Structure 1
């Protein structure tokens, strides 16, 4: 058989052994192509190094270059429970593009944790970590991570000194945790930065599968803000709860086993307010088994479509088999010689230029690839000569040539190539509640929404059409190179149609499907407009039954903005004219909040809540010109931990602001006419109730 050398450009290195149980290498969100990476490859293409001491481990783990680090010795940290005060925070910092593997049966880090902050593309496997403080493994602002076959625990009697065993926080995304054993701990694994951190908004894509959480009190795991997929996990003796969800997270839980668990699924913080609350989480439960577990076993939503991100059915077991697989979780001997595929197993959306490859096996002189479009008909192929086809599932297998692992053969892997058309639109086709604005940053107002789609198979660029006619005859084509486009001037309540054509690298044009979406609309009139009836977006949610004696709000309701930006939107349905606004908001003592009043995209007023007096206060904004159909929008973002609460916007006709009207000339600005065209004068004081024409505009004096 001909041997083919692997190319180092796109290589996923050393991981998971071929075994008699369901093990398919890297499966899940860590395979997803986004944020500049096509998946998680760890130290692929880097030098393989064996380390036996802390100095070398620290040096290689923190290096700028990619490394595959095999830890062949146990290490003990400086943390000491017996000292007073206790010695804390002993960690090894890990940089991007690293694979860390415990050699042999696994390496033990005692009182020593791993800290990863602001990094990407990291694989951690076959480590046993105990008594680390504050976390065994902590990821902050890090993306594309795989943690596999690790054993993480602490001493329960010392849990007041520990935080998480595996925490994924502060804007982290694309995590897979597989075949790990978590045990004897309190706060096990959290995927978010607590209850109020905008850094996690739109991120936190996480997969947990084939993990055991035994004698762990809570957070097994707990997911906020993003998308969580949990399948084939085993939970036992979780004395508080097993899986927690909050802060608008959507979690799918499939084929898991719960035994002697106090509460299977825990709705964090928001049970009193319901699904419209800022802290509400959504969970779909399918195929799970509950043994001596009866509390909170039902889901509350339809979940999300995992198939838009990756395939996994081939890796999923029946829930009834989970107790028998516990012995396969945690550290396992021989993992450093695993064969791992790129693209990852079950990856989707693979583009034309992707090169199939496997990771380095130490001592190998070559690799033999067999590839086909059915698992039973694989042929020897050089990946360098293979031309991928769109919308095709490929199956493939690798055999090692040379070295002590000569002849070792991988399982059959699979991946699916992308559609030649633009696909998976956001907003989804037929969406009737599309948000016309979206969060840009932590301390800036929301911005107009962007249309998004998944990368096509062989795109050079895209041409976007959007209009209000189904045949797009009113659309102006816009050429973009990214998979997003931000249209201008979208109006609430309107139905929009859009299409994305693919401009191929070979010069061909592939016309896309026509999609549509519509947004909600809420109309404002003269008088008090309760903001809980407005169209809300960003981190803005209704707060019902406001606590008496603290927040005195009209209608016993207001809107609350959590950490970060949000908005409330009305469309003006009154007469054209000049009006005065009074906005009621709660000035909370815990921080500051910024507010901005807009008509369409023009800011009319802005202010910052700085009184910190825990009182409902008002802001007056004078002489605001309005025309029917204008959007009236109140933007906000929180600062220094304040919740921005708003009660109402009161709108009254302005009777003194004629001098502020825009006019063609000074004479027109002062001329007032009756509705039938008679000249009245040039002094507002002469007006009584009625409708008048000022500067060719209708003005209502109530």
Structure 2
């Protein structure tokens, strides 16, 4: 009997060792399932319209790449070529590296005698005035900025899928740019800290002047049929709150987390997390860009905006469906607004949940610049249903033009729309990189 028990025990141990052997022999960066050839569902938002979005699903085996460095990623992107391709990112890739993989910091990019100390001395408004910066230090800043841009701006071409492997895929320091390209998918990837080493001083911005930065973490410019799913985008590593103040203005180092501009169209952003950032998402970049009429059609669903100060999103011209999203304003954090209603925008907002501290009121959730309409239903504010539009109009009566509920369109491309309460729970559990089911 005792011998039989020992045999059973040895067999159990052997089974466990065998299982461990399988786990340990799995290649680093392997995914639980291959999501790289997934395509957007037929009813999943604007990116499903007019032929849908398939990314690089048609890629042959020779154009499926697993990349672990900036150099490998650049080669796989192939200069933005239209060849169908699937790019799988394994581990962490730092865009601020040289061709040998050595990390580059801001001092490595500085050239032609640029120094922040001398730049501040040259363009101090008390002595320089309100003219646009020019001369040696501004020229040196531009040359230094160009050196960084050559490293961190990564162009994504048509018919491309970029997907993170597993739960730890990170692209940091990069500005991933989809410019004038059709049919792109970005999924299951953490995009972190597109950090601008060389902001420019703009004396006349906002009346008091301001610092302008480059490098959206993900920028869609003239892009069509784009699906962004299960990404996490933030300033992790270099929060702007830790930056100093120069000329009375915060020395910002980050632009947008995801900006959709310059005639981009047919975009779905789903199950993603945008965190700890100032200006999160701009849809339409100029009141004067009347060519954007009929474009900038975007769906945002099941996303989380946590610690975002503003632009979640701010919209010009576009027909934007915003449903089942989760908004969290941490206690003590800066907050301005979530829905920015701007020139000719047509935002259709349904069943979104907001959790805020006491200093944020319902009317603060919306800000209008020349906007005329906002459709909203099912809004949940700190656990209570509210009529966001009615409260906004009552609060701003006499100071801003009332917004109408008629945005001129009704969304049809969507799956089941859950209650805001249900979406709040589901998004908290399921949004962001590493959570694809």
Q: Same fold (TM over 0.5)?
A: yes
Instruction: Say if 1:13 and 1:50 are closer, same or farther in 2 by CA, change over 3 A.
Output: closer
Large movers: runs of 4+ above 6 Å: 23-26, 292-296
What are the equivalent positions in structure 2 for 1:88-99 lying under 5 Å apart? Answer: 88-89=148-149, 90-99=152-161
**The one of 404, 421, 424 aligned to 1:323:** 424
In structure 1, the residue corresponding to 2:425 is in which secondary structure?
helix
So what's the TM-score if we normalise by structure 2?
Answer: 0.64
Partner residue in 2 for 1:546: none
2:10 paired residue number: none
What are the ranges of 5 or more consecutive residues in structure 2 without an aligned counterpart?
A: 1-34, 97-103, 109-114, 117-143, 196-214, 244-250, 391-403
Of 225, 245, 269, the residue aligned with 1:144 is 225
> 2:385 & 2:282 partners in 1: Cα distance?
24
2:326 pairs with 230, 234, 241, which one?
234
- Matched with 2:11 is none
Give me the whole-angstrom Cα distance separating, in 2, the residues matched to 1:110 and 1:63.
23
> Where do 1:486-505 residues align within 5 Å?
none
Q: Tell me the residue number matched to 1:306.
A: 410
Please point out which of 42, 51, 55 is paired with 1:42. 55
Q: CA deviation at 1:24?
A: 6.6
Of 176, 187, 192, 1:130 maps to 192
> Does residue 212 in structure 1 map to residue 304 in structure 2?
yes
Aligned to 2:407, what secondary structure does the other structure show?
A: coil
- Whether 2:183 is the aligned partner of 1:183: answer no
State the alpha-carbon separation in 2 of the partners of residues 70 and 26 from structure 1: 26
In 2, are the aligned partners of 1:30 and 1:145 still within 8 Å (CA)? yes
The separation in 1 between residues aligned to 2:85 and 2:296, in whole angstroms, is: 26
Which residue, 37, 50, 70 being the options, matches 1:14? 37
Aligned to 2:388: 297
Gaps of 5+ in 1: 1-11, 17-22, 270-278, 339-702
The secondary structure found in structure 2 opposite 1:320 is helix
Distance 2:263 2:405 in 1: 25
Shift of 1:288: 1.2
2:82 match:
64
Find the partner of 1:102 among 164, 183, 201. 164
Rg comparison, structure with higher value: 1
Q: Which residue of 1 aligns with 2:129?
A: none
Which deviations, in whole Å up to 9, do the C-alpha atoms of 1:26-49 show, x marking residues without a partner? Answer: 71000011xxxx111111211332
Is 1:286 paired with 2:377?
A: yes
Give the aligned CA root-mean-square deviation in angstroms: 2.8
Matched-pair contact (CA < 8 Å) for 1:125–1:148: yes
Q: Is the 8 A contact 2:189 2:434 kept in 1?
A: no
Higher relative contact order at CA 8 Å, sep ≥6: structure 1 or structure 2?
2
State whether residues 91 and 112 of structure 1, in contact with CA within 8 Å, keep that contact through their aligned partners in structure 2. yes
Alpha-carbon distance in structure 1 between the residues aligned to 2:302 and 2:169:
21
TM-score normalised to the size of structure 1? 0.40
Q: Give 1:539-578 correspondences, 5 Å limit.
A: none
Query: Given that residues 168 and 192 in structure 1 are in contact (C-alpha distance below 8 angstroms), is that contact kept between their aligned partners in structure 2?
Result: yes
Q: Which moved more, 1:137-146 or 1:52-61?
A: 52-61
More strand by share: 1
The alignment partner of 1:149 has SS state of strand
